[in-house]
A and B are shown apart, each in its own frame.
Chain A
């Protein structure tokens, strides 16, 4: 009776094609390759480029695709608690232990370590460059009220930073809104912020070495034992979440702590400098 129906008739082929093509198009998107695991990990392992180096080696050997979702440690563990990951690979011993104690993880293995460094502007208003004592450096930043960028995102790095402030006997939150600036984002974005504001920040060495927008920033304090940064890996407990891919996930965990996995980790270097030091035992 109207134009529309006429056109509909005329274009029946096209319409039929669209109706048939759409579900196929969508199905392809909805049901990708089955042999894969999801790993909740941290921004530092992703943004430092480690996974790009590590995963192809594992995938080639095992024919298991590893899908990494990179978040802060706190968020990554939350994601696993909800059952959205098969394996967690993070770096905050304290919250990892809690995760295990709550029954969400099977067993935790040390994988590797690197260290945190305190970076800041070369002009160094807090006069801390070259120091070996991280607590003294933090105190000096607080007393001079020099700008300091914090992750503020419950990540492993954020947790480590807060522990150091506590050890230094300083409450940085009193400087909130003035010199203490929480970005609430990943390591990279926080470094971009620090670079733009010429602020101090605590970062893991891996992300720092891979970071390219340094501006006036440089490593000012390093080598303090309290800056040690341990990474651990756990299979999410299949008893809590039945759909966890137990065998595939465990294969990845086992490979990471195997001689081959450990060697692959230590082989990852940026301009000759290793980023992570394997220490599974």
Chain B
């Protein structure tokens, strides 16, 4: 057990030290795909969550409950649904997107949109309880109020978006199905780890896992630093 981890750690260090071109490509693709997914998801989910927090309509509570439940979407199911949509025999088959990074972006975006939307809804709703009266008295429309609160809670929302990014980058079930884990085209960190596990090369698999973890921690540190310095500047 201890030996396994020691072997994995030395494998991870060797991978990083050797600056292996193939590993660099896999890492770059992982980051690009997950960043794209998080960008698209945030673009849809932040306004959605904010509006859901501010507006009042019949069935809203049910919608909130459904949205919260969708945070637990099983990745394999999402992968399968998107596979069937993008397959040549499916409704979007003519675009030939299956087994491309674009398909992986779509799958990850679908997975994390509910997460970002549901958490945004909670953050904005808490802020809304505090500022509703004030904003209403200033004659703010729903859209104005939503935009204002999104901006006011931006530091909390960075954490929300990071949660989405973490889920996207760590996900394997959906991207394996829609990406196909094609060497040099759709192989990302998580599917590479799954493949090395399949080959029984556990130290290499765990080593790759450590590299993935290091990247996610690194990105989070960066985001945290941006947040802190922005907080200092804007208060």
Contacts and interface: CB of A to CB of B under 8 A. Distances in A.
Q: Are both chains from one complex?
A: yes
Interface of A: 1-5, 7, 22, 25-26, 29-30, 32, 38, 43, 46-47, 51-52, 65, 67-70, 82-84, 186-189, 191-192, 195, 210-214, 241, 243
A32 B88 contact: no
A69 B99 CA distance: 8
A25 B33 CA distance: 10
A68 B99 CA distance: 10
Contact of B140 (A2, A30, A67): A2
Interface in B83-101: 87-90, 93, 96-101
B199 A47 contact: yes
A42 to B, nearest CB: 12
B200 A191 contact: yes
B101 A29 contact: yes
B27 to A, nearest CB: 15
28 contacts: A2-B144, A3-B148, A25-B36, A26-B36, A26-B102, A26-B105, A29-B32, A29-B101, A32-B185, A38-B99, A52-B183, A65-B184, A67-B99, A69-B180, A69-B181, A82-B87, A82-B89, A82-B90, A83-B87, A83-B89, A84-B87, A84-B88, A84-B89, A188-B197, A188-B199, A189-B198, A213-B202, A243-B88
Contacts of A212: 199-202
Contact of B200 (A30, A46, A68, A188): A188
Contact of B100 (A1, A30, A70): A30
A210 B199 contact: yes
B185 A67 contact: yes
A29 B87 contact: no
B181 A70 contact: yes
B93 A29 contact: no
B151 interface: yes
A3 B200 contact: no
Given A83-B89, A84-B88, A2 B148 contact: yes
B147 interface: yes
Contacts of B89: 82-84
B134 to A, nearest CB: 12
A47 B198 contact: yes
B99 A29 contact: no
Contacts of B199: 47, 188, 210-212
Contacts of A84: 87-89, 98-99
B197 A4 contact: no
B39 interface: yes
